[in-house]
C-alpha cells in the first residue's frame, strides 16, 4: 500500500543524482498578475507560469514491485475542474518510499477568475475505479485590472 506523506507546489524542483536528495525552489502560495483595462470581462488570459507538484509517498510491504494510479486536479474557486492529470506510479521491489514530480505549464484564466484555487491529489482505491482525495493544496491567484 502507498501512503501519501506530503505534497508541495513549487516553481521548480531538482533531484541531486549523487545523494538522491530533492530541493524545492520558490514554493507557491499566491500569484499576483496585472491585466490591462482594455480587456473586457469575457477575455481569457494565459497565466505564463510553470510549476511542479512534488509528492512524497511511503510504501508498506515493499518486497515486490507495486504500482498505483494518482490523479491531480486543478480546481477553480467556483469548483470547476480546469486541469486533470492521471499518473501511474511504479515502485520497484525493496523500495520503501517514492517521490513523484508532476510538471504543469500555463493556466488559462478568465479576467475575473481571482480567488483560491485548489490542487487536489487523489489516489485510486485498490481494484476499483474510485479515487480518494488525500490532499488539497490551496493557492491564491489575484488578477489586478489596471
Residue extents of the structural domains in the chain:
2-30+44-141
2-30+44-141: CATH, from 3.40.605.10, 1.10.1200.10, 3.30.2230.10, 2.60.40.2550: 2.60.40.2550
- Mean pLDDT for the chain? 89
> Do the Cβ atoms of 107 and 74 come closer than 8 Å?
yes
Q: Kindly report the number of other CB atoms within 10 A of residue 113's CB atom.
A: 19
Residue 120's alpha-carbon distances to 28, 80, 81, 83, in angstroms, are: 15, 12, 10, 10
Characterize the bridge pairing of strands 115-124 and 22-27. unpaired
Report pLDDT for 34.
Answer: 83
pLDDT digits (tens, 9 = 90+) for 87-108: 999 999 999 999 999 999 988 8
Statement: residue 126 has pLDDT above 80 = no
pLDDT digits (tens, 9 = 90+) for 2-58: 999 999 999 999 999 999 899 999 999 998 888 876 655 557 788 888 899 999 999
| Share above pLDDT 70 across residues of the chain, in percent, rounded to a whole number | 96
pTM for the full model? Answer: 0.86
pLDDT digits (tens, 9 = 90+) for 56-91: 999 987 788 888 999 999 999 999 999 999 999 999
Amino acid at each position: 500500500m502507498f501512503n501519501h506523506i506530503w505534497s508541495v507546489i513549487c516553481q521548480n524542483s531538482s533531484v541531486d543524482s549523487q545523494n538522491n536528495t530533492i530541493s524545492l525552489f520558490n514554493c507557491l502560495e499566491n500569484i499576483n498578475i496585472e491585466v490591462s483595462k482594455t480587456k473586457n470581462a469575457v477575455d481569457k488570459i494565459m497565466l505564463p507560469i510553470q510549476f511542479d507538484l512534488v509528492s512524497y509517498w511511503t510504501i508498506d510491504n515493499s518486497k515486490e514491485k507495486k504500482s498505483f494510479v494518482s490523479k491531480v486536479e486543478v480546481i477553480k474557486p467556483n469548483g470547476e475542474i480546469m486541469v486533470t492529470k492521471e499518473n501511474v506510479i511504479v515502485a520497484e521491489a525493496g523500495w520503501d518510499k517514492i517521490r513523484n514530480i508532476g510538471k504543469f505549464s500555463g493556466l488559462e484564466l478568465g479576467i475575473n477568475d481571482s480567488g483560491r484555487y485548489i490542487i487536489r491529489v487523489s489516489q485510486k482505491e485498490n481494484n476499483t475505479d474510485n479515487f480518494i482525495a488525500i490532499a488539497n493544496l490551496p493557492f491564491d491567484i489575484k488578477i489586478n485590472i489596471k
